[in-house]
Every structure is written in structure tokens, then in C-alpha cells.
């Protein structure tokens, strides 16, 4: 039995004394202990070594009174497991030497046995659960099929992912085959995470906002919803689509337990679009953590008041930035923990 189950209560839509809080990328570059480990091991070594991934997961938990931990990993471990050889280049980010641009390439991509290819993630879950000792829940995650396709086709990060979009529009058959293979792999991956003991899973659609509402339905949401349908009978599923406020009404019809929202929508509009029937997560602008601790506290309390304390998970509207002062991150978290109606 998890001692602090505020996060799970919010996902179940139950009444709470205060909303739970965690931060996307909370085990990240803003922590000095993370940077110290980064200087010793390259990125994917940290992801693939269960002891290191588990230790990184615990770093923010030891520092802050967070209500959930999220397993340190990366969305690109899924395409790597499918034989797509991503690396993380310093100063560049994700890098794929040979981008996926043809139907022949897509046909050669495998849907792997996740136990054979991603066992290190499942081992990290077991190690982390031992360390958490039932204090707070552990979240597992994966990237949305569309977001992973963006990296596979572009071969790197992009401001607009025009090449990925063009691939989908010129070669829809190949695009849908690739999206389905990613979806099938992701479902197996997340199911195994649940079997290993995570309390919820989150799907990150970081680049969904690059698509028009119509194309979002075609190339992103229908595949996310397959994952939601497959996972919702066995766990809570949170869907976070950056820039995807236009899809909130459609998402509300799904079996997701919660929807993440970014800072480009007001709490009032987010509630309106989801008909006040859905647990929402977000939506503090990560750059706002550069404000003074006092300003952060005031803004967080206002945000909670506007969303309402129930059916709400306090979070950022995207991942925490690497140059955020520790005391500002702490002010954000403590503002929630100390919140009173």
C-alpha cells in the first residue's frame, strides 16, 4: 500500500486536501548531482544501466517533498529497441545517422520482444521501487508514436518537423505502417512496466502541436488512443500533448485518467473543453521558474485556485529547464505542499 497516494487519488477523481505535485524532467539537468553523474557517463549509458537510472530517479525525491517519482529514461529507447540506432550527440541532441524516409526502410523495422530489448528499463523499475519503499507512486512513460516518428524521419530535433510532416503527406502508407509498429511496441513496453509495478503511465506527445487539428487525428491521436485503450484496463494513463489544446474535447472522450496541458491555455478554458469531467495536469510555464520564489508561490496558489484542488495534478506545462535555480524549483513544490483552501 502506497503511503502518499495523493497522485493516485487525483487520477481516480477523488477529493483531496491539496492537489499532488511532480515536475516533468524533475530528475534532470537542473540538479547538481545529475550534472555530476552526466560528467561521468554518457546519456544512454545512464538510461541503460539500471543502477544509474534508478539513482537518477531518486535524486529529486531525496531533495523535495514530491508526490510521485517518474522513472529516468528517454522516449527514444523504444525506437532503439526496434533497431533504429539513435545516439545523443553533445550540443545537438537526438541524432540518427540514417533517417527513415522510405517504405522499404519501414518494412525492415521490427516490432521487438520488449523483454529482450528493454529489460534494463524493467530492472530499473524493480530497483527504484525498492528504494521508494511504498512512500510514493512511480510513473512510467513513453513517447507518442507521432513524436517518435518525428525523430525517426528528421533524424534529429527540429523547430517545425517539416520533413516528418512531408513524409506523412507524401507517403501516408509508409507513415501509418511506421506509426503502427511504434504503437505495437509501445503497448507491449508499457504493459510490461505496469507488470513490473509502476502505478501509472504517461504518454508524451511533445510534437503533436505541430499538426493541424485534422492531421492530429490522423497521424497522432488515433495511435495514442490505441495505447490508452490497451493500457486503461490495467493502469492509469495520462496523456500530455504539448500545444494540443485543440484536441482536449476529443481526448476527454477517451479512457485516459488525466490530460496534461501546457501554458498556452487558461485553466478555465481547459476545464471548459474537458467539460469539468477530467483530471487535468499542468500548466505552469517552465520559464516562469526564473521568477522570484515569492512570485512563484503566489502564481502557484493562483493556478491551483483557478483549476480547483480536486481532479488536478500540479505540474509544469513542459519539462523543467536546465538553468532553473534549485531554490525556485523548491518554491514551486513547497507552494503546493503548503496550499490550503
Closest alpha carbon to 90 in 42, 130, 35:
42
Integer angstrom CA distances of residue 17 from 9, 283, 299, 308, 310: 11, 20, 19, 11, 8
44 carries a ligand binding annotation: yes
Distance of CA 341 to the CA centre of its chain: 29
CA nearest to 186, candidates 211, 137, 220, 136: 220
Annotated binding residue 26:
yes
In the set 38, 41, 285, 310, the catalytic residue is: 38
What count of other Cβ atoms lies within 10 Å of the Cβ of residue 335? 22
27 is in an annotated binding site: yes
189 annotated to a ligand binding site = no
- Check whether 157 is labelled as a binding-site residue: no
Q: Which residues pair with 202 in a beta bridge?
A: 141, 238
d(CA 231, CA 187): 7
Query: According to the annotation, is 151 in a ligand binding site?
Result: yes
The DSSP-derived string for 131-158 is HHTTSS-EEEEEE-HHHHHHHHHHSB--
DSSP letter at 94 equals E
Q: Is 42 a catalytic residue?
A: no
Residue 274: DSSP 8-state: T
Q: What is the Cα Rg of the chain in Å? A: 19
Tell me which residue has cell 477523481.
Answer: 13
Which among 12, 29, 63, 120 is annotated as catalytic? 29
Which of 67, 74, 184, 262 is catalytic? The answer is: 74
Residue 25 assigned ligand-binding role: yes
Q: Is 169 annotated as a binding residue?
A: no
Q: In what order do the strands lie in the sheet with 258-261?
A: 69-70, 138-143, 200-205, 236-241, 258-261, 279-284, 312-316
- Check if the beta carbon of residue 296 is closer than 8 Å to that of residue 288: yes
Q: Which of 7, 18, 25, 262 is catalytic?
A: 25
- Looking at 48, 101, 151, 189, which residue is catalytic? 151
The rounded Cα 274 to chain-centroid distance in angstroms is 20
Q: Which DSSP category does 318 fall into?
A: S
- Is 63 catalytic? The answer is no
41 catalytic per annotation: no
Residue 91 CB contacts under 8 Å (≥ 6 apart), including other chains = none
Ligand-binding annotation for 74, yes or no, is yes
Tell me, yes or no, if 29 is annotated catalytic.
Answer: yes
Annotated binding site for substrate: 25-29, 44, 74, 151, 206, 318
Mind telling me the catalytic residues? 25, 29, 38, 74, 151
Annotated binding site: 25-29, 44, 74, 151, 206, 318
Amino acid at each position: 500500500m502506497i503511503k502518499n497516494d495523493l497522485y493516485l487519488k487525483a487520477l481516480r477523481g477523488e477529493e483531496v486536501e491539496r492537489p499532488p505535485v511532480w515536475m516533468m524532467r524533475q530528475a534532470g539537468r537542473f540538479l547538481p548531482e545529475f550534472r555530476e553523474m552526466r560528467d561521468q557517463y554518457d546519456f544512454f549509458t545512464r538510461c541503460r544501466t539500471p543502477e544509474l537510472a534508478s539513482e537518477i530517479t531518486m535524486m529529486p525525491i531525496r531533495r523535495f517533498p514530491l508526490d510521485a517519482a517518474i522513472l529516468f529514461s528517454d522516449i527514444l529507447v523504444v525506437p532503439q529497441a526496434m533497431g533504429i540506432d539513435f545516439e545523443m550527440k553533445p550540443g545537438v541532441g537526438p541524432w540518427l545517422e540514417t533517417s527513415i524516409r522510405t517504405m522499404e526502410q519501414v518494412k525492415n523495422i521490427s516490432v521487438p520482444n520488449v523483454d529482450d530489448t528493454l529489460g534494463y528499463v524493467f530492472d530499473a523499475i524493480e530497483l527504484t521501487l525498492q528504494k521508494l519503499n511504498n512512500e510514493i507512486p512511480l510513473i512510467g512513460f513513453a513517447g507518442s508514436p507521432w513524436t517518435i516518428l518525428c525523430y525517426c524521419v528528421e533524424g534529429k530535433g527540429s523547430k517545425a518537423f517539416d520533413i516528418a510532416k512531408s513524409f506523412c503527406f507524401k507517403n501516408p502508407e509508409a507513415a501509418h505502417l511506421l506509426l503502427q509498429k511504434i504503437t505495437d511496441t509501445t503497448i507491449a513496453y508499457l504493459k510490461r512496466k505496469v507488470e513490473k509495478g509502476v502505478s501509472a503511465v504517461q504518454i508524451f506527445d511533445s510534437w503533436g502541436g505541430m499538426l493541424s487539428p485534422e492531421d492530429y487525428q490522423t497521424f497522432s491521436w488515433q495511435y495514442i488512443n490505441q495505447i490508452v485503450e490497451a493500457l486503461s484496463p490495467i493502469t492509469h494513463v495520462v496523456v500530455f500533448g504539448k500545444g494540443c489544446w485543440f484536441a482536449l474535447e476529443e481526448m476527454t472522450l477517451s479512457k485516459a485518467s488525466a490530460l496534461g496541458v501546457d501554458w498556452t491555455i487558461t485553466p478555465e478554458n481547459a476545464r471548459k473543453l474537458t467539460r469539468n469531467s477530467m483530471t487535468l495536469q499542468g500548466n505552469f510555464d517552465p520559464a516562469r521558474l526564473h521568477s522570484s520564489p515569492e512570485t512563484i508561490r503566489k502564481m502557484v496558489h493562483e493556478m491551483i485556485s483557478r483549476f480547483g484542488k480536486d481532479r488536478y495534478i500540479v505540474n509544469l506545462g513542459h519539462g523543467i529547464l536546465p538553468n532553473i535555480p534549485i531554490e525556485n524549483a523548491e518554491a514551486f513544490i513547497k507552494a503546493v505542499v503548503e496550499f490550503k483552501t
